[in-house]
Structure formats: C-alpha cells, structure tokens
Structure 1
Amino acid sequence: MRLSRVIPSLLILLLVWLVSTPAAQAGGRPTAETPAREGQQRILFILASSKVHGTSTIPASISFGEVVHAWDIFQAAGYGVDFVSPDGGDLPILDAYVGDEVEARLKDDRIMGGLRNSLTPAQIDPSQYRAVYYVGGSNAMYGVAENPTLQRIAMHVYERNGGVVSAVCHGTAGMVNLKLANGQHLISGKRISGYPEEHEDQDAPYLKEFPFLIRKTVEARGGLFHAIKSYDPYIEVDGRVVTGQNYASATPVAEAVVEVLRTLADPPATRGATTR
C-alpha cells in the first residue's frame, strides 16, 4: 500500500483516540483519572451539597456571590479553579443567594459548569492545589466539617503543599475540625473570622438545625475569633490561614489568598509537614 494512503488513515485514527480519552471528555477538569493541567497552579473551592437545613425541609443554598467574586480574583491572578462537594454533582443555588450584581453570571458556563458538575472528594488529587477556599451559604454548616476526605485534602494542601486554607462567612464552619499532623487543631491560636451566631436571626427555625455555632466552636478549638458589628468587609490573615466574616468579604479574602501565595516559594513535592 502506498504511504500517501496510509498517513491520512493514521491521522484520523489518532484524532478519534484523542477525542475519546478521559482528559478530553472531562473538559480538562482534574478527576481521579485526569490530573490538572501541567504548569497551572490551582485553587479548590469546597462547597456543601445539602439542599435543606439539617433534617428539616427548610431550603438551603450555596452563596453564589461568594463563588463569583472569589473566582474572578483567582482567575485574574492566573489560577485555575475546581469545585468539590461532599456528594459531587449539582449544587443548590436559591434566588435569595444570588445578588443583583452577580445574577448575569448564572449564564457563565465557566462557573456554572463547575457548580452543576462538582467533583466528589474521591476525585480530587490534593497535590494539585495551592489553596482551598471554603464557600459560605446557608448549607455550609452541613456535611463539610465532618467529611474526613475533605479534611485530608485541606490538610494535604496546607501541610504537604505549603498552601493556604481560606474561608468566608459560613464557610468557616468547614475548618473547625481540621487538625495538623501533630493532632492540634489548625485554628488553635490563630485569628479567625466567619459569620458569628449573634448575627443570625435568633428566632428563625433554621438556626435550631445548626449542628454547631461558628464562634463558639472556633473558640472551643482554641481559635481567636474576631468579627465586627457591621456588614462591611472584614478579614483575618494569620500566616497561611485566611478567613472572612461575611458575603462582602469574599473579594478581600481572595485578594489576601493571592497575596499570601505570592509571598511563598513554590514548595517542592517532597516538602514535609509544617505547623504554620
């Protein structure tokens, strides 16, 4: 057979094989079979899956604006972003948690694709990430803090990658059970912010469903909780731990994470555990 006839056939077979690979089918998102793109540093958004408060029928949601505002900052700084939740898949977004300034972003496929197809903890390779970002919303109190795989991911990023652990608003709830390799709570002795229970609607039925209270639990774990009596942005940066009090703090939290990462040398893959 003439070579001029063989080459086109081989090229067609090669193209078919490339399109059918897991990497192509996953759209470039890292999965258990498909690592993150080589060379691009990434940040992992940790969100809750729960659609209701606790065992009630009261609807719960992620905070869409806390996703969008942080995503914009990280993307502008050159970081890739992935989304993980305890159950994976489609995440709840209630209208009440979509501010006017971000409503148009519900049509942004770059964000919505991740929120409609969030990864499961088992699909995450923690070695790929420079930071984790716990997103708030009314459902952030459920299913994240007690998830052992999410805990291991966060602490791998912090201790083995030398990365940043961050959270905003109710997302701080996801950090309360994180422990260093020496058994000490990550937040012990650190300045921490988040949405304090005194700012909740004290008579609202949802509050009775909370499995714990953020300020009280942070302090019980040895954290130094700080918040202001305002809806203005407020963040705390303590080493490689960055936390924000409320919705308005999502942008400054992300900016602070980027700034901390810029001060850190890219850690070698063999770096051991640290305690900062």
Structure 2
Amino acid sequence: MNFNNGNKNNRVGRILSIDIENNAAMAKVEVLAQNQRQYTDYFMLMKYQGAWKIVQKSYTWKEIPKQGNKILFITSNQHTYGNTNLNAANHFAEIVIAYDIFRKNGYTVDFVSPQGGAIPLGYIETSNSIQKAHLYDTDFMRMLKNTFKPTQINASDYRAVYYSGGGSAMFGVADNKEIQNIVGQIYGNGGVVSAICHGTAGIVNLKDSNGKSIFSNKKITGFPDIFENTNAEYYKTFPFSIDKEIIRNGGDFVYSKKFGNNFFITDGNIVTGQDPSATASVAQQVIKTIQKN
C-alpha cells in the first residue's frame, strides 16, 4: 500500500523481489492504481546508520486489462504428501501450457494459493519448448514465487478460474473457505470453473448460492483412482479419492480408461480434464465457454 503524507491513496501493491548485497539492495514492487494502470516500481536502497534508505527510484506502467479479460489460476503451497517427507509439487506443464494459451488469446492470468507466496513446482520437462521458455522467463517465475493470498483477490475481476494439478493440489485447496468463496462468486456471476488432473480435487466442496454442489448432475473428470497406485505411501496421504468425492457430492464422474488421450469434458460452465494431455484442450474450452456467455 502506498501512502502520501500519512494517508492511504487507494493503491494496492505487492513486493515482487528484493535482492540484497552487503549494504545495497534492489527492490521491485507492483502497484495497482485507481487510474487503471499497473505500475512496476524499482527501488535502489542503501543501508546507512543501520537503516535502509531509498536512493533512487524508477518505474514503468501499463494499462490494467478491462474486467472480463482475467483468469485466476488456483495453486497449492503444499511441499509434501501429507505429513510425510515425500515431495509433492504443482504440475509445471499444466500451469504453463494453459497460461501460454490464455495469454496468446488476450487474457491476463493471476495466481492464487491458500497461503500466498511461493509454490513448489515439479514434473518439469526442459525438452518441451513452452516449458523451457517459461522456466527461464524471470517475470513469469516471479509470479509463481509471489502468488496472491485469497484476501488479495477481487472475485469480480475474473471470468474464469483454473485449478492446476500435481500432487500438491490434493492438499490445502479444497477445504480453503476463502478460495471457495472466490470461486463461488465467479461461478455465480456466470464465470467458468475449470480444472485439470488432480486439480479437480479443488472443486469437490464448491457449492452454489443454494448450498448445492455446483457440479451436481454434471459430468466431471479428473485423475481417476485406476491410474493411482492406491497401495503407495503417497496415495495413503490423500484426504479423499477424487472420483469418489465427486460422486459423493452428486457429480457424474467420467473418465477414459486410456491414459494420455486428451480426455476432457465440458458441461455447462464447468470444464475438466483427466490428465496432463488434456491441458491445452481445457484451456481452449474455457475460452470458448467464456465467449459463449
């Protein structure tokens, strides 16, 4: 938050990075202003007499995309499978493939996680040109290091949400009330709810304004138990089975018995994909569904 003579000036900001070397530092800050501009401020600081002082400042700015051109990615902060030492991560390809498609079609993407800040990444393939390009894109990676907290999100800004997958997606997302409220508002306003693979775990508790599951009597897919090693230690940490929980809450869980064949389902304003192979199709279907509304 910026201040002027001790008064708030209705700007919302977040620190993107701080690099410190001895008594010098460089900070990068993103600020959203009421004049529909997004500023990026660069501060050069020096430590003098035990306190940091700003010695130089510069900035750039761009117009904030108009309402209706934003999509919210929902990710997880979970680094392990449950309380074990087994590493868990957000699926990098499921993030960057969808992100790339949305961006190329004129959409702005924001990232949120239950706790905000950095999220763990895995399943990275540098042989994939899109993944490699984003892995070395410092601005993109900075967003994943500084995801928004739910309290920083204004639901009315978004036309769709996208739950990415990976083992991390099984933890901390589905039971987060703040995220549920955000998605509920977006869906209630005619927005699209989408998920890929284990990301479908995030939607299991979503309800409409009448307290009914948003996917009741709708076809939903996600990563089914037939592709899980249900005897493995990682699976034993799962708080629930995705397909069983969707069914328990009134959904019609469907899936392909063949892994990796781009299986996805669109039912009303809900778009879901079974596994990573459907990531691009889910993103494209989200765009088509937005354009229909």
TM-score, length-scaled by structure 2: 0.77
1:60 positional shift? 0.2
Amino acid at match of 1:121: P
Distance in 1 of aligned mates of 2:287 and 2:133? 25
**Is the Cα contact below 8 Å between 2:82 and 2:171 reproduced in 1?**
yes
Q: Quick check: 1:27 aligned with 2:53?
A: no
Among 143, 146, 159, which residue is 1:117 paired with? 146
Cross-structure match for 1:268 = none
Q: Deviation per CA, 1:202-246: give whole Å up to 9, x if none.
A: 332100000000000001111011110122111100010000000
Amino acid at match of 1:74: F
Distance in 1 of aligned mates of 2:31 and 2:178? 23
Change (3 A) 1:26 1:130: farther
**Is the Cα contact below 8 Å between 1:29 and 1:82 reproduced in 2?**
no
Cross-structure match for 1:43 = 71
**Is the Cα contact below 8 Å between 1:49 and 1:139 reproduced in 2?**
yes
**Is the Cα contact below 8 Å between 2:197 and 2:222 reproduced in 1?**
yes
Cross-structure match for 2:204 = 176
Amino acid at match of 2:275: N
For structure 1, the 5+ residue unaligned runs are 1-20, 265-276
Cross-structure match for 2:273 = 244
For structure 2, the 5+ residue unaligned runs are 1-10, 15-27, 39-62
Distance in 1 of aligned mates of 2:103 and 2:73? 13
**Is the Cα contact below 8 Å between 1:126 and 1:153 reproduced in 2?**
yes
Among 115, 124, 129, which residue is 1:98 paired with? 124
Q: Give RMSD over aligned pairs.
A: 2.1
Change (3 A) 1:64 1:37: same
Cross-structure match for 2:249 = 221
Q: Deviation per CA, 1:42-73: give whole Å up to 9, x if none.
A: 00000011000111111100000001100011
Identity over the aligned pairs, expressed in percent?
42
1:115 positional shift? 0.6
Change (3 A) 1:75 1:222: same
Cross-structure match for 2:156 = 127
Moved over 4 A (4+): 21-26
Cross-structure match for 1:210 = 238
Distance in 1 of aligned mates of 2:136 and 2:207? 38
1:187 positional shift? 1.3
Distance in 2 of aligned mates of 1:256 and 1:63? 20
Q: Deviation per CA, 1:242-273: give whole Å up to 9, x if none.
A: 00000111100000000011111xxxxxxxxx
**Is the Cα contact below 8 Å between 1:191 and 1:238 reproduced in 2?**
yes
**Is the Cα contact below 8 Å between 2:65 and 2:108 reproduced in 1?**
no
Distance in 2 of aligned mates of 1:190 and 1:250? 20
**Is the Cα contact below 8 Å between 1:44 and 1:132 reproduced in 2?**
yes
* Larger relative strand fraction: 2
* Larger relative helix fraction: 1
Q: Quick check: 1:233 aligned with 2:236?
A: no
Distance in 2 of aligned mates of 1:220 and 1:73? 33
Distance in 2 of aligned mates of 1:208 and 1:244? 23
Distance in 2 of aligned mates of 1:169 and 1:150? 19
TM-score, length-scaled by structure 1: 0.82
1:22 positional shift? 4.6
Cross-structure match for 2:225 = 197
Cross-structure match for 2:97 = 69
Among 84, 100, 108, which residue is 1:56 paired with? 84
**Is the Cα contact below 8 Å between 2:170 and 2:201 reproduced in 1?**
yes
1:76 positional shift? 1.1
Change (3 A) 1:28 1:235: farther
Distance in 1 of aligned mates of 2:96 and 2:252? 28
